[in-house]
């Protein structure tokens, strides 16, 4: 698809002698007043204004009165013109201030205290307000960063995508179908509104881009449309912040007696295609690729292990040195559904210090990988009642004691759920 080349916008050079609107208007009023005086004087001098019954002795008096009248008319014109120019300048300043705020992507309504006097300028202000209303609505559908980018580059949105390294987050509410069936339509709509508001706030404050809402699920990513530093770290912080924000929401009066929801998260980092997909007349800014599917599969793996925040090895590595602020527990080596290459997966527990049950689990997992199933079971047994992943690993050890894996077993678990 080819695009029509746009002509460059050449700014019109400003003359250093160009008068302002105020100067032009005042000069016109003075000239008009002077012309009126001259015309009255010429008419009087030529005798046009001299009535037949007027004596010459009255000419001087009439002359003075005419000059006074002309002066008063000129003064009224000047004062009226000065007041009109002040109102015009005031109104134009208000419109210019609106335009400057729009350039800074401030689309809030104009202050109600600002009164526009000139009807034509008021029509321009009303048009700007209508445009701001449309853009405020558009911001709820399109990432603001994308709008800023299009504005800065002075180009229209078009079909196309580029490969970018993203951190991708998927969230999903546990047992949402069964929970939603117990609510009325109005209750469900209100609850989802409150829930998505908390989720959106967490993503926005950590510089994420909300891709879409899929039923009760949220897809978001970091590092696009504009690159940001520490995208994997920000995605992890978002998940942890969302957990806290939802707990506060469920304990608030606004949530009331509605059932509390539990949210699962999956975070992955990979190179995917990012850009505008769809039709030329209806675009969707989104990310597509195998990495997006992997992030979704990681969210689903929480069901297997009884966890809440699942991250990939790529995320753990990308966090790097700042990983000291997080507690990651290595849970398994997994081949997710739809893939053939195994990867280590981690649970994001929170921030330091690391809980004892996580340390014990990782020790048991190392024994598990070396075929020491009985040793792993002994370590896991004290925490079976409180740690769901320990139960999963314990049951695997029991199964392998009954039927040992082959000698070339590499410890990889193949997931069969999405």
Given a cut of 80, whether residue 178 has pLDDT beyond it is yes
- How far is Cα 346 from Cα 213, in angstroms, rounded to an integer? 25
Highest-pLDDT range among 102-106, 177-181, 300-304: 300-304
CATH number for 161-354 (one of 3.30.70.1230, 3.40.50.300, 3.40.50.920, 3.40.50.720): it is: 3.30.70.1230
Q: 209 and 225 in contact (C-beta within 8 Å)?
A: yes
The pLDDT value recorded for residue 47 is: 55
Give the N- to C-terminal CA distance of the chain in Å, as an integer. Answer: 36
Given a cut of 80, whether residue 409 has pLDDT beyond it is yes
- How far is Cα 225 from Cα 286, in angstroms, rounded to an integer? 10
State how beta strands 209-214 and 263-279 pair.
unpaired
In sequence order, what are the residues at sequence separation of 6 or more whose Cβ sits closer than 8 angstroms to the Cβ of residue 277? Answer: 159, 161, 283, 284, 285, 286, 288
Query: Mean pLDDT for the chain?
Result: 81
Q: Considering only residues 94 and 2, tell me which one the structure prediction assigns the higher pLDDT.
A: 94
- How far is Cα 347 from Cα 247, in angstroms, rounded to an integer? 19
Residues 294-324: tens digit of each pLDDT: 999 999 999 999 999 999 999 999 997 555 6
Split at pLDDT 50, 70, 90, the class of 186 is: very high
Given a cut of 50, whether residue 286 has pLDDT beyond it is yes
Q: What is the 3-state secondary structure (H, E, C) of 377-413?
A: HHHHHHHCCCCHHHHHHHHHHHHHHHCCCCCCCCCEE
- How far is Cα 289 from Cα 270, in angstroms, rounded to an integer? 9
Q: Which of 143-152, 304-313, 343-352 has the lowest mean pLDDT?
A: 143-152
- How far is Cα 336 from Cα 287, in angstroms, rounded to an integer? 20
Q: Compute φ and ψ for 161, nearest 5 degrees.
A: -150, 160
Split at pLDDT 50, 70, 90, the class of 66 is: low
Residues 204-228: tens digit of each pLDDT: 999 999 999 999 999 999 999 889 9
Q: Where are the domains of the chain?
A: 21-49+58-139, 161-354
- How far is Cα 212 from Cα 336, in angstroms, rounded to an integer? 23
Split at pLDDT 50, 70, 90, the class of 167 is: very high
* Bridge partners for 359 per DSSP: none
Residue 399, CB half-sphere, CA atoms under 13 Å: how many? 7
Nearest to 303 by CA among 194, 154, 221, 416: 416
- How far is Cα 51 from Cα 225, in angstroms, rounded to an integer? 84
Across 139-147, average pLDDT:
67
* Bridge partners for 40 per DSSP: none
């Amino acid at each position: 698809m080819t695009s029509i080349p746009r002509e460059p916008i050449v700014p019109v050079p400003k003359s250093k002698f160009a008068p302002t609107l105020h100067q032009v208007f005042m000069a016109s009023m003075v000239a008009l007043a002077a012309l009126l005086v001259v015309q009255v004087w010429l008419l009087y001098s030529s005798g046009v204004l001299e009535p037949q019954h007027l004596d010459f002795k009255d000419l001087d008096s009439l002359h003075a009165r005419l000059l006074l009248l002309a002066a008063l008319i000129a003064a009224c014109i000047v004062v009226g013109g000065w007041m009109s120019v002040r109102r015009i300048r005031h109104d134009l300043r208000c419109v210019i201030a609106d335009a400057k705020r729009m350039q800074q992507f401030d689309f809030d309504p104009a202050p109600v205290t600002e009164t526009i006097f000139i009807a034509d300028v008021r029509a321009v202000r009303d048009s700007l307000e209508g445009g701001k209303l449309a853009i405020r609505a558009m911001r709820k559908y399109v990432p603001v960063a994308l709008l800023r980018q299009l504005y800065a580059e002075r180009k229209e949105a078009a079909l196309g995508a580029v490969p970018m390294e993203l951190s991708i987050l998927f969230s999903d509410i546990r047992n949402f179908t069964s929970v939603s069936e117990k609510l009325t339509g109005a209750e469900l709509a209100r609850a989802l509104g409150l829930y998505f508001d908390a989720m959106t706030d967490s993503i926005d404050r950590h510089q994420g881009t909300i891709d879409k809402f899929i039923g009760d699920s949220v897809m978001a990513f970091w590092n696009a449309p504009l690159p940001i530093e520490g995208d994997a770290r920000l995605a992890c912080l978002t998940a942890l912040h969302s957990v806290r924000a939802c707990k506060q929401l469920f304990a608030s009066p606004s949530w009331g007696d509605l059932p509390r929801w539990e949210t699962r998260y999956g975070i992955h980092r990979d190179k995917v295609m990012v850009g505008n997909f769809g039709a030329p007349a209806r675009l969707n800014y989104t990310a597509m690729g195998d990495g997006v599917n992997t992030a979704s599969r990681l969210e689903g793996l929480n069901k297997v292990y009884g966890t809440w925040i699942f991250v990939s090895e790529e995320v753990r590595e990308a966090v790097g040195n700042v990983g000291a602020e997080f507690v990651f527990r290595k849970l398994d080596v997994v081949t997710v559904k739809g893939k053939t290459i195994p990867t280590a997966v981690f649970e994001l527990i929170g921030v330091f210090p690391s809980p004892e049950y996580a340390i014990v689990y990782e020790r048991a997992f190392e024994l598990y990988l070396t075929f020491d199933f009985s040793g792993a079971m002994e370590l896991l047994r004290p925490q079976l009642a409180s740690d769901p992943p320990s139960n999963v690993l314990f049951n695997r050890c029991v199964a392998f004691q009954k039927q040992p894996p082959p000698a070339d077993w590499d410890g990889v678990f193949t997931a069969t759920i999405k």
